[in-house]
């Protein structure tokens, strides 16, 4: 992305980079698929309350009077609930994996929101796969699969509109937004390394 706004770059170069990125994601997604052969002797069987975890998640953020205010959702997911729902609906429409289905025993699997949440949190925060188990009731292998399928779905569904080089209209819009924020002429992000951050939390030391 370093050459995204470089005038010397051509549209063909952008298209080539985008195709390479998609090819890499698809290759990772298709390679080393786990072989599901049923229960394995000696492996511990955990009964996860998937439905209870889904209901708790919905009560926390998406009901009429949620446990957590909307600002909590935005702070934790870096987006609003409407955008989250739009992304979840779009990837579900593209890939049936994100539908809530019953397994061969007739048990309901994880919901669309559980799968999308697992993928987003692992990608956004870099947490290990088993860290989503305690609040989403999702095993490590399932969480990893959510990330892979989610990455492919996002590229396929939103790639043409958002993962492309900016056109003249995009440039004018970004310049207008940044000018209103007090940074006229700024197109990309600011290098915050040169900005003093007063009272930076000690836990975030070195991250910004």
Tens digits of residue pLDDT in 107-163: 889 999 999 999 999 998 889 998 999 889 999 999 999 999 999 999 999 998 888
147 contacts 123 by C-beta, under 8 angstroms: yes
Is this prediction's pTM over 0.85? Answer: no
- State how far the Cα of 139 lies from the Cα of 142, in Å rounded to an integer: 5
pLDDT (tens digit, 9 = 90+) per residue, 31-51? 555 555 455 555 666 778 899
pLDDT of residue 14: 46
Nearest CA to 46 out of 135, 147, 133 is that of 133
pLDDT (0 to 100) of residue 80 = 94
- Provide the mean pLDDT of the chain: 80
Query: Is the distance from CB of 116 to CB of 88 less than 8 angstroms?
Result: yes
Percentage of the chain lying above the pLDDT 70 cut? 69
Which of 111, 109, 110, 135 has the alpha carbon at shortest distance from 122? 135
Q: Provide CB contacts within 8 A for 93, sequence distance 6+.
A: 157
Where do the structural domains in the chain lie, given as residue ranges? 21-33+44-162, 166-204
Range of 9-18, 65-74, 99-108 with top mean pLDDT: 65-74
pLDDT reported for residue 12? 52
CA 1 distance to own-chain centroid: 18
Identify the CA nearest to 124 among candidates 174, 183, 74: 74
Burial class (CB in 10 A: 0-12, 13-18, 19+), 19: exposed
Top-confidence residue, 162 or 180: 180
- Report the alpha-carbon distance of residue 130 to residue 114 in Å, rounded: 14
Q: Is the dihedral of CA 53, 54, 60, 65 positive or negative?
A: negative
Please name the residues in contact with 164: beta carbons below 8 A apart, sequence gap of 6 or more: 14, 18
Mean pLDDT, residues 174-188 taken together = 86
């Amino acid at each position: 992305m370093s050459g995204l706004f470089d005038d010397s770059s051509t549209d063909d170069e952008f298209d080539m980079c985008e195709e390479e990125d998609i090819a890499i994601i698809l290759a990772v997604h298709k390679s080393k698929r786990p072989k599901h052969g049923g229960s394995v002797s000696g492996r511990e069987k955990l009964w996860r309350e998937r439905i209870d975890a889904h209901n708790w998640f919905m009560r926390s953020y998406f009901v009429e009077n949620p446990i957590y205010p909307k600002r909590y959702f935005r702070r934790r997911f870096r987006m609003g609930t409407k955008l989250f729902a739009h992304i979840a609906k779009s990837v579900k429409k593209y890939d049936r994996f994100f539908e809530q289905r019953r397994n061969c025993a007739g048990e309901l699997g994880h919901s669309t929101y559980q799968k999308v949440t697992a993928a987003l949190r692992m990608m956004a925060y870099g947490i290990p796969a088993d860290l989503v188990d305690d609040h989403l009731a999702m095993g490590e292998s399932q969480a990893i699969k959510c990330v892979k399928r989610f990455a492919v779905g996002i590229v396929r569904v939103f790639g043409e509109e958002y993962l492309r080089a900016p056109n003249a209209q995009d440039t004018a819009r970004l310049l207008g937004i940044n000018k209103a924020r007090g940074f006229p002429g700024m197109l990309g992000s600011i290098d915050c390394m040169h900005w003093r951050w007063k009272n930076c939390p000690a836990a975030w030391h070195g991250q910004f």
